[in-house]
Amino acid sequence: MLRQQREKQQKIDIVIMEQMVPEDHLLRKADRVVDFSFIYELCAPLYCADNGRPAIDPEILFRKRRNPCCHNQDANHD
C-alpha cells in the first residue's frame, strides 16, 4: 500500500522586520530625512479610484526603484 508522508509543522518562526534592518542602514537614514508623501499626490491621476485591483503602494514602488542595491535587487529587475 502506498502512503504519502506529510510533514507536520514543528515550529513557528517569528520575524520582526524592525530587527532585520540595522539602525545605521542607509534606508533608515533616508527615511528619517526624506518625506516621501509627495509621491501620493503625483501618482493620484495614474490610479483609478473605483475600478481595478488594489494597487501596490506607490511610495514603496518608488523607494524600491530608487535604491535597488539597498533592497538586494538588480536595478533592471521588476
DSSP 5-67: --PPP-------HHHHS-TT-HHHHHHHH--TTHHHHHHGGGS-SSSSSPPPPHHHHHHHHH-
pLDDT digits (tens, 9 = 90+) for 5-57: 667 767 888 888 788 888 888 888 888 898 888 999 999 898 888 888 888 89
36 Ramachandran zone, left/alpha/beta (phi>0; psi -120 to 50): alpha
Please state whether the predicted TM-score (pTM) of the whole model is above 0.75.
no
Position of cell 538586494? 72
